[in-house]
Amino acid sequence: MKTGFGRFRPALLALALLTACFSAACSGGGTESSPPASATKAEQHGGVGGSGSKHGGKIKIGFSMDTLLEERWQKDRDLFKAAGEALGAEVVIMAANGDDAKQILQAEMMISQGVDILVIVPHDAGATAAIVKKAHSAGIKVMAYDRLVKNADIDLYVSFDNEKVGELQANAITSIVPRGKFVYIGGADTDNNAHLFKKGVFNVLQPLIDKGDVSVVYDQWTKDWTPVNALANMRSALSANGNKIDAVIAANDATAGGVVEALTEQGLAGRIPVAGQDAELAAAQRIVEGTQTMTVYKPIKLLADKAAELAVKLAKGESPGADRKVNNGKIEVPSVLLPPIAVDKNNIDETIIADGFHSREDVYKNAKK
């Protein structure tokens, strides 16, 4: 999908109004996307001194998020804000909740408000290229956070090794189910990560498919990553195969939740291995209850800290010293990719619980004694 700024010019009046709202600290850029009130003020006025902005004074980081509807992104918001503020920057956060036009409009607002650096979690990998152009023409560098922006001269990409995420999932599941009928419930087609996760899964499955040990009997994207769409996909997979499925790999824990719901409807939850990703609390609970086999833990604090540190460097015109390159269809983007960690019931205590990602009490809340 091509989304140019030109398409949104008629919205300039709205932009002016929203800009007024923005100055008055109504983060979220609109009524429906505001993050919780507790975070709102600080998101607009955070920071504890420090300097280094191109214009003198405190560095202002604009953080443009796709959504806050999933647990992980709420962690990203809070941790990124805290990390930026600890470095003496001001962090302005807006979330578009899956609306491309809104994400672009919000980014325009941040640019016109004079942020020194823009950090984007794109909803649509292609549509957000328009933001990069606009920021660059205002002399503002742009970092892609967690998700890559495609076909744009993005300055830096900070994420996890997303192909590795898929490999961890498929390794975990094939070590339990080395042959049989597999279902792949993908993420959102518009998210570059969904493609990387799937690539990683098939890096592991393809040799088994070629040997005739594994067949993938259902393989679909899940629009906007929602559990309800994953539930519908999984119902289709079950009915198309007369419930004869041996394993499911879901691209994240939200979609794994939909998968487990569909399996529960058929009395199959806990009998068919399911992989997810994100180490969300609900998934950790399903793991200890036995309805989800594994998840992939991505320590969000490391990502947020690294991204904030490099955002400040970029804003100061310093080199971020990124050691890897990822092709985004236009350029080789300097990248930092952190390692993900596979988690199942055997190592849940020493990973997500030991890190304080979730408390032991919360994770084992519903587990049978």
Q: Which of the 8 DSSP states describes residue 332? A: E
Q: Which is nearer to ligand GAL, 128 or 252 (CB)?
A: 252
Side chain identity, residue 293: T
Binding mask 59-98 for ligand GAL (x = CB under 6 A): -----------x-x--------------------------
Q: How far is the CB of 257 from ligand GAL (least distance, A)?
A: 12
* 252: contact with ligand GAL by CB under 6 A: yes
Q: How far is the CB of 230 from ligand GAL (least distance, A)?
A: 11
| 139-164 b/e (C-beta count within 10 Å ≥ 16 → b) | ebbbbbbbbbbbbbebbbbbbbbbbb
SS3 136: helix
Q: How far is the CB of 19 from ligand GAL (least distance, A)?
A: 28
Torsion 22-25-26-29 (CA) sign: positive
Q: How far is the CB of 278 from ligand GAL (least distance, A)?
A: 5
* 124: contact with ligand GAL by CB under 6 A: no
- The pair of structure tokens assigned to 362 is 């919360």
Residues that contact ligand GAL, how many (by CB under 6 A): 10
Q: Which is nearer to ligand GAL, 98 or 180 (CB)?
A: 98
Q: Which of the 8 DSSP states describes residue 252? A: S
Q: How far is the CB of 284 from ligand GAL (least distance, A)?
A: 15
Q: How far is the CB of 70 from ligand GAL (least distance, A)?
A: 5
d(CA 189, CA 111): 28
Q: For ligand GAL, which residue of 102, 147, 164, 195 counts as binding (CB under 6 A)?
A: 147
Q: How far is the CB of 224 from ligand GAL (least distance, A)?
A: 9
Q: For ligand GAL, which residue of 146, 161, 163, 246 counts as binding (CB under 6 A)?
A: 146
Q: Which is nearer to ligand GAL, 59 or 303 (CB)?
A: 303
Q: Which is nearer to ligand GAL, 163 or 191 (CB)?
A: 191
CB 272 within 8 Å of CB 192: no
Q: Which is nearer to ligand GAL, 111 or 279 (CB)?
A: 279
Task: Please report which residue ranges of the chain form alpha helices under DSSP H.
Answer: 12-23, 37-45, 71-86, 100-112, 129-137, 162-176, 192-211, 227-240, 253-265, 281-289, 300-315, 360-363
Binding mask 178-217 for ligand GAL (x = CB under 6 A): ---------x---x-x------------------------
d(CA 359, CA 325): 36
CB 216 within 8 Å of CB 149: no
> CA torsion 314→317→320→324, rounded to 10°?
90
Burial category of 316 from C-beta neighbours within 10 Å (exposed 0-12, middle 13-18, buried 19 and up):
middle
Q: How far is the CB of 161 from ligand GAL (least distance, A)?
A: 11
Q: Which is nearer to ligand GAL, 87 or 144 (CB)?
A: 144
* 218: contact with ligand GAL by CB under 6 A: no
Q: Which of the 8 DSSP states describes residue 350? A: I
* 225: contact with ligand GAL by CB under 6 A: yes
Q: How far is the CB of 366 from ligand GAL (least distance, A)?
A: 23
Read off φ and ψ for residue 81, nearest 5 degrees.
-60, -45
- Residue 106 makes CB contacts below 8 A (sequence gap 6+) with 18, 29, 64, 94, 96
Side chain identity, residue 235: R
Binding mask 14-53 for ligand GAL (x = CB under 6 A): ----------------------------------------
For binding to ligand GAL (CB under 6 A), which residues are involved? 70, 72, 146-147, 187, 191, 193, 225, 252, 278
